[in-house]
Chain A
Amino acid sequence: MTAAIVAIFIAFLVGLPIARIVHREADRLELAGTAFLHGTGAIFLLLMGLSVLGIPASIAVVGVALLAVFAVATAFAMRKRPNTAKTPALHVVDILTVATLAGYALYATLAAPWEIDFWAIWGLKGRIFHEAGGIDWRFLESRWNVFQHSDYPLLVPLNLDFTALVAGDWDDRWMGAIYVAWGASLIAVIRSLAAREATACFAALVTFAIAAPCLTRFVGLAEGALVAYGAAGVLFVRAALRDDDAGSWRQGALLLGFAANCKNEGLALLVAVTIAAALCGPRSRIVPSVKRLWPAFALAAPWLVLRAFHALPTDLAGGSLFDRLSQHLADAGAILALLASRLSQPWAWIALAVALFAVPPAAIARERFVLVAMGIQLAFLVGAYFVTPFDVAWHVWASWPRLTAQLAVPVTFVVGMALAATLSESPGIPIRESPA
């Protein structure tokens, strides 16, 4: 357990000055939340970079490199003017969120990660890379190992590898702890963003409502990291569009870039957010808005190049895509009915749908960026079932509950904030039409 906690602390420490550089106006909650996200992102980039350079990842090499990153980032952060942002006021309701987090911490660390996709995909790669001292391309390229989805990006396996490096050996017993840290980071970010627009009471209530969806039940998979990076990225871009705040743009772009390095759905999310930002941002600033997302694409690019270089296959794109699409389109009704019947937490989605009738239409219009982005992402997710090379019923059973959870955080946040604004009789903050 000590090694897992030390690994989390190192990631947090490395990420702290980076988070400070990215958004100098960040309050303490935002800093605390984004520090771990940037830290695990930096660890991923470092370990991937060492592998590309052919340098074996020992704890000494990685430790010195992380120390250098920390020193340089701290020097840059110190040059910025002092942070004068206030810490959001807390509320007694926040205790419920902390209790949820405590319950999750017990859940995620009750045993070694037990899900099939941990020991057949994410944990397997982490362990293989740990044994090999870096990314084992021979393992990824082997035709006997296609089951572990060679094309999936490596942020999560390399961070599991980092935990093992700190421990000195692979011990999966406490690896669930890193999922607690990813979830806690997202909750801190959400609480900070909610406090920008709502009273302490409503910000705490909305955060409590989102706490459980932030904390994935799929311990050991990439969902925890993807939800943390993806949802935080989407909500920072929302804040950037509303406030025209450069720091929020940088946060959003970097976090979405790391989301694209968690799972292929993260890459789809980046595309969805880019389209939604172009469609829903101020018309005078479509190009500047999209341009501000360039760091996300820069972060996503290396893995796409590496996977193309190593010819790692993508199962959805294999074989005859159009044959499968035309075949499944004939069963569209049945597939959509199956998705509806397998919807995770249907009552929560019904409550969100009903809630949309309780807020003024103008409030819904103000949240069009997130709603459009999530709508596009939903179309991507559903579209994957229409081109899947697997049995559709099995594929839906195996993935749909996880995928809908990815959408839950941003949607619940915007609906919650619209409800809070209605209850406060606040007009909300419109997206600003700034000069180009």
Chain B
Amino acid sequence: MTPRRALAGLALAAVVATRVDPAYVEMLIGDRDARAKDFVPIVDVHLPQYARFLAEVRSRTAAGDSIAIVTPDAAPRELYPLAYYRASYLLPGREVLPVIDPQGGAPIPGNRAAARYVAVFGDSAGAGEAVWKGEGGALYRR
């Protein structure tokens, strides 16, 4: 065997070895249930009741309704965009409106005033007629 072939053999072994993904090996031999607990949308980790709250909001609104999303006053400001995106996903067919600009962070009071519904999650103040309360929040009709 020439030195080049020996080096090529070692290199091929290294290429193969470094490309093995331990995450997929772990799926075959590890505790999958334990790992599944990590596979949760990050918003659901920070706001555990939020997905259930939005499911209730969905069941109480119709396609085409506009809904402004309000999150807890105490929640980190960085969380708002994620909560707004999550609401867009879990309230399909509705026009989901932010009350804080997801890009710039500036308040958008006009959206709260313009929306048919305001979905308030957490301890923020509501406005209008309370349609429903539960799952850590409330839905108001304006």
Question: Interface of A with B (CB < 8 Å)?
Answer: 99-100, 102-104, 106-107, 110-111, 114, 116, 119-120, 123-124, 127-128, 130-132, 142, 144-148, 170, 205, 208-213, 215, 217, 345, 347-348, 350-352, 354-355, 357-360, 408, 412, 415-416, 419-420, 422-423, 425
Complex interface: chain A residues within 8 A of B15 (CB): 209, 348, 351-352, 355, 412, 415-416, 419
* A347 B18 Cβ-Cβ under 8 A: yes
Known: A104-B27, A144-B97, A419-B8. Is A355-B14 also a contact (CB below 8 A)?
yes
Count of chain B residues near A, Cβ 8 A:
46
A-B residue pairs, 7 tightest by C-beta: A103-B24, A355-B11, A212-B21, A120-B85, A348-B18, A106-B27, A111-B39
- Say yes or no: A423-B27 contact (C-beta < 8 A), given A111-B36, A357-B7, A360-B4: no
Cross-chain contact of A146 among B39, B93, B103 (Cβ < 8 A): B103
What 1/0 flags go to B1-37 for Cβ under 8 Å of A? 0001101111110111111110111111000100110
- Say yes or no: A103 contacts B28, CB within 8 Å: yes
Residues of chain A contacted by B20 (CB below 8 angstroms) = 100, 212
Considering the chains assembled together, what is the distance between the CA atoms of A352 and B13 in angstroms? 11
Cα(A142)–Cα(B96), bound, Å: 11
Chain A residue nearest in CB terms to B90: A119
Residue in contact with A147 in the complex, picked from B17, B92, B102, CB distance below 8 Å: B102
* Residues 41-73 of chain B, each 1 if its beta carbon lies under 8 Å from chain A, else 0: 110000000000000000000010000000000
Q: A209-B15, A422-B5 are in contact. Are A145 and B88 (CB under 8 A)?
A: yes
**B81 CB-CB contact with A under 8 Å:** yes
Known: A127-B89, A422-B4; 16 extra A-B contacts, CB below 8 A, are A103-B21, A103-B27, A107-B24, A110-B35, A111-B36, A131-B92, A131-B93, A145-B88, A147-B103, A170-B92, A205-B12, A210-B19, A212-B24, A351-B11, A351-B14, A423-B12
* Chain B residues in 8 Å Cβ range of A345: 18-19
Taking the closest CB of chain A, its distance from the CB of B19, in whole angstroms, is 5
Q: Is B98 an interface residue, CB under 8 A from the partner? A: yes
Closest to A360 in B: B4
Give Cα A415 to B18, complex, Å: 14
A350 to B20, CA, bound (A): 15
Complex Cα spacing A127 to B87, Å: 12
- Quick check: A147 and B93 within 8 Å, CB to CB? no
Q: Are B11 and A358 within 8 A (Cβ)?
A: yes
Which of B10, B32, B82 is close to A110, meaning CB atoms less than 8 Å apart?
A: B32
Q: Which residue of A lies closest to B12 (CB)?
A: A419
Q: How far is the CA of A179 from the CA of B49 in the complex (A)?
A: 29
A146 — which chain B residues lie within 8 A by C-beta?
103
- A130 is contacted by which of B92, B98, B103 (Cβ under 8 Å)? B92
Residues of A within 8 Å of B35, CB to CB, are: 110
The answer to whether A124 and B89 have CB atoms under 8 Å apart is: yes
* Chain A proximity of B58: nearest CB distance (Å): 11
| Cβ contacts under 8 Å, A208 to chain B | 16
A215 — which chain B residues lie within 8 A by C-beta?
21, 24
